[in-house]
Copies of this chain bind each other. A is one copy, B any other.
Amino acid sequence: MDTPEGPPPERLRMLPSRLANHAAMTANRIVDRALAQAGVRRYHYALLAALEEYGPASQAALGRRIGIDRSDMVATVNELAERHVVERAPDPEDRRRNIVTITAEGRSLLTDLDRLIAAAQDEFLAPLPAADRRHLIDLLTRLAEHRD
């Protein structure tokens, strides 16, 4: 994109929806760059985190848990399996399912990713002092919860 030429219109600048988008885009840029240091994308982190927290599960169950489509889950598991951070095995009790399991190597990777993610969050919130960071998180959390 070209370099900006003056500020965006006043009408747009102050819109809460625009502010939320700006924050999200900033956060995504920072988080994606952090995860890229470990060669993964957001889907990979989400999948590893879900496996660590809830244990082995089928692809479909994992997808519902973290909001990934079944079709996209195939590629995500493929990529993680190639790196030997997860294992995909048919479920003997239900041969429709693949049980996905995190490996020791996967847990090690997840530890690294946790650190990268934490640093990214700090970078994202860096412009705000600690008290305001907490307040922002609280407000966004309430916004999210009162929606569902």
Residue positions of A touching B, CB distance < 8 A: 1-6, 8-12, 14-17, 19-28, 30-31, 46, 49-50, 52-54, 60-61, 63-67, 69-70, 114, 117, 120-121, 124-125, 127-128, 132-133, 135-137, 139-147
Contact = CB atoms under 8 A, between A and B. Distances in A.
B8 A50 contact: yes
Copy number in the complex reads 2
Nearest to A70: B2
The DSSP consensus for interface residues of chain A is helix
Given A2-B60, A11-B53, A46-B9, A22 B140 contact: yes
Nearest to A25: B24
A29 to B, nearest CB: 10
Nearest to A127: B146
